[in-house]
Amino acid sequence: MPLMPGSAPYHHEGGQIGVLLCHGFTGTPQSLRPWGEHLAAAGLTVSLPRLPGHGTTWQEMNRTRWEDWFAELERAFDALRGTCSEVFVMGLSLGGCMALRLAEVHGPLVRGVVVVNPSIVNDAPLLTLAPVLKFLVASVAGVAGDIKKPGVTEVGYTRTPVRAAATLPRLWALVRSELHRVTQPVLVYHSPEDHVVKPASVAVLRSALGDNLTVRECLDSYHVATLDNDAPAIFEGSLDFIRTHASVPLQRD
């Protein structure tokens, strides 16, 4: 099936430090590609997979669930582990949720976590009805493209596939229930003006992670901050995070 422009996965073979980037729900690797290229230019090995059902049609995505997306991330994580001495995981929105799940499951094999406007709380009332709604309607209005910077667009679906969305509450509940397993350092970038994810997710992380957590605000960006005005600060801040927490030095190409 043809891919939407910009939806192809991205991989760069760099040094001993690997970074796995996780895009968001109904989004594509395009939303994180500049971040990945910035990290690659610093000498890192970067993997940015396309999650199953994303970047094609929302109808195809309706045939997938969160377990399929997470399995793809685990495959990419295992591949990085095979070539790198240590791996950091980073993600946007739902990708941030799954990055935290990787840290819960793989423990010290994940060196650190950076997430941008992570989604771990069901703050969309309609999703509460999704298990029933999926039998009535196939899709609802999409959430892609929440960007403040003029002239910038996100490649993603204009419709939200309801059957796929109905699997999200189980993932959120699982991640929240096991946040105590996240002992790695975590850096969160949070946009106070976010029209997709409400502040409750960051509040949960503050309560659960304590001193392991650092939160920085993106005051000039909306939800897709990795394509917005604060993107340069996110990119360079994530590099500083790696420099601080990696046990081996960065190697430039």
252 inside domain = no
Q: Which of 7, 31, 47, 93 is catalytic?
A: 93
80 inside domain = yes
According to DSSP, the residues that pair with 17 across neighbouring strands are 86
3-state class (DSSP) for residue 29: helix
223 inside domain = yes
Q: Locate all alpha helices (DSSP H) within the chain, ordered by sequence.
A: 33-41, 58-61, 66-83, 94-106, 125-128, 130-133, 162-165, 168-177, 200-209, 231-245
- Is 190 known to be catalytic? no
253 inside domain = no
User: In which domain, by residue range, is 184 found?
Assistant: 10-244
205 inside domain = yes
Strand order across the 213-217 sheet: 10-12, 45-48, 17-22, 86-92, 110-116, 186-190, 213-217
Q: Which of 223, 228, 230, 238 is catalytic?
A: 223
pLDDT per residue, tens digit, the chain (253 aa), is 789 998 999 999 999 999 999 999 999 999 999 999 999 999 999 999 999 999 999 999 999 999 999 999 999 999 999 999 999 999 999 999 999 999 999 999 999 999 999 999 988 666 666 666 666 676 787 788 899 999 999 999 999 999 999 999 999 999 999 999 999 999 999 999 999 999 999 999 999 999 999 999 999 999 999 999 999 999 999 999 999 999 887 766 4
What DSSP line would sit under 97-163, residue for residue? HHHHHHHHHHGGGEEEEEEES---S---HHHHTHHHHTTT-SEEE-------STT------SEEEHH
CATH of the domain at 133: 3.40.50.1820
1 inside domain = no
- Is 194 known to be catalytic? yes
Q: Which of 194, 201, 221, 230 is catalytic?
A: 194
139 inside domain = yes
Number of domains in the chain: 1
Instruction: Write the single-letter amino acid at 212.
Output: N
Alpha-carbon gap, residue 245 to 243, rounded angstroms: 6
124 inside domain = yes
